[in-house]
């Protein structure tokens, strides 16, 4: 499966968390590099790594991008998306979100404003440059309703619409949409977005509704052997794994000469992070847009590289990773326009952060360490 027919082209957010001014993530390519073309689909970036110092907002970019999950679906969200929602230094009490998609050569712009995570103020939808509707939640006023027929919603009556539910979500839930409808495609894309963090606990946004105990999930789905091979192939961890059944639980255990050790009690931080990654890796075929925050927080360089190489092979999903590991800035993995630096509220690719013409032979890691991309 290839994601080329349905992709996020551009995203921007303003006055959200630590982003007082508008910050833009642009997936459109501007450079004709001839190497690592698997990172590109239909002239859009499909694999990105974002670097930045602590506190610059790498996690907040992910929370902002995945605000749409809480707006349009019932999929799981994260409490950090709600905390300190509006920028604390701004006089404005409105956060502005804008998503630009390309679906089967159709350009869709979906914009909305919020005062809180669950408080919509304004919403509008464009298809191929034509405004389909806009809705003012404060005054309960719909404009351009004569264009609703373009999204098979002309039979809906918004005269008494009192909900704070997204209009787009309301339309999706209350109309019969054809398989090729923009509304259906957009909703399907958003329901297949996934954010997770490579830490010991399984924190995630999107794709699923409820969290599971991952080690028990591996046992119950007969994946112990595959997980054991995954650890050996990627981290050179040769563990003798098995399961033990106790009342109401199936435990993953390590077998040793004189004891069985429960995985959850002995696994290192790195092994636990790999457990979480393995769980979601088994779901990647269903993902359209993936964001892994601090994906390599507990990985050594070679393991981080293997994870990236694994993800690159999934051409069905657009992917963003965040990292502190400057060693990953390498043309052997991605290319200069796929590496981004987050600095002073701006996201800029390496290729656009320097006047130097970057070639395949350049040492990107050295340039990053020397601060060439921080201006």
Is the pLDDT assigned to residue 14 strictly greater than 90?
yes
Q: What local confidence, expressed as pLDDT, does residue 1 receive?
A: 43
**What pLDDT was estimated at residue 146?**
86
Which residues are CB-neighbours of 165 under 8 A, at least 6 positions away?
A: none
**How far apart are the C-alpha atoms of 105 and 282, rounded to whole Å?**
30
pLDDT score at 200 = 60
CB-based contacts of 329, cutoff 8 Å, min separation 6: 49, 51, 339, 350, 364, 365, 367, 368
Say if residue 20's pLDDT is above 50: yes
Q: Is the pLDDT of residue 2 over 60?
A: no
Instruction: Please tell me the predicted confidence (pLDDT) of residue 375.
Output: 56
Ranges 116-125, 189-198, 277-286, 295-304: which has the least confidence: 295-304
Q: Does 315 have pLDDT greater than 60?
A: yes
pLDDT at 78: 94
Domains and CATH numbers, the chain: 6-206+288-369 (3.40.50.300), 214-273 (no CATH)
Rg (Cα) of the chain, in Å, rounded?
Answer: 22
Please tell me the pTM assigned to this model.
0.94
Residue 61 dihedral angles phi and psi, to the nearest 5°: -60, -45
Q: Rounded mean pLDDT of the chain? A: 93
Reported as a single tens digit per residue, the pLDDT across 45-96 is 999 999 998 889 999 999 999 999 999 999 999 999 999 999 999 999 999 9
């Amino acid at each position: 499966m290839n994601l080329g027919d349905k992709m996020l082209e551009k995203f921007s957010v303003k006055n959200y968390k630590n982003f007082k001014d508008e910050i833009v993530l642009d997936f459109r390519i501007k450079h004709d590099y001839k190497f690592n073309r698997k990172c590109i689909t239909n002239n859009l970036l499909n694999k990105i790594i974002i670097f930045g110092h602590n506190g610059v907002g790498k996690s907040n970019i992910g929370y902002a991008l995945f605000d749409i999950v809480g707006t349009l679906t019932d999929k799981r969200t994260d409490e950090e998306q709600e905390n300190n929602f509006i920028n604390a230094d701004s006089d404005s009490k409105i956060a502005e979100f804008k998503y630009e998609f390309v679906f089967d050569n159709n350009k869709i712009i979906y914009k909305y404003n919020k005062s809180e995570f669950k408080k919509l103020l304004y919403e509008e939808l464009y298809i191929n440059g034509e405004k389909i509707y806009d809705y003012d939640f404060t005054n309960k006023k719909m404009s351009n309703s004569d264009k609703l027929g373009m999204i098979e919603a002309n039979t809906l009556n918004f005269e008494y619409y009192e909900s704070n539910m997204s209009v787009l979500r309301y339309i999706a839930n209350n109309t019969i949409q054809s398989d090729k409808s923009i509304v259906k495609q957009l909703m399907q894309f958003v329901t297949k977005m996934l954010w997770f963090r490579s830490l010991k606990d399984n924190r995630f946004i999107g794709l699923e509704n409820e969290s599971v105990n991952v080690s028990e999930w591996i046992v119950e789905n007969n994946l112990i052997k595959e997980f054991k091979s995954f650890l050996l192939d990627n981290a050179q961890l040769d563990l003798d794994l098995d399961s033990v059944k106790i009342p109401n639980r199936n435990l993953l255990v390590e077998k040793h000469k004189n004891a069985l050790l429960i995985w959850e009690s002995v696994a290192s931080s790195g092994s636990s992070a790999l457990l979480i990654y393995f769980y979601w890796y088994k779901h990647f075929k269903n993902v359209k847009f993936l964001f892994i925050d601090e994906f390599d927080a507990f990985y050594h360089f070679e393991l981080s590289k293997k994870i990236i190489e694994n993800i690159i092979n999934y051409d069905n999903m657009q992917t963003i990773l965040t990292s502190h590991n400057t060693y990953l800035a390498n043309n052997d993995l991605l290319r200069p326009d796929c590496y981004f630096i987050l600095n002073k509220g701006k996201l800029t690719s390496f290729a656009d952060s320097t006047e130097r013409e970057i070639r395949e032979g350049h040492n990107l890691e050295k340039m990053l360490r020397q601060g060439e991309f921080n201006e």
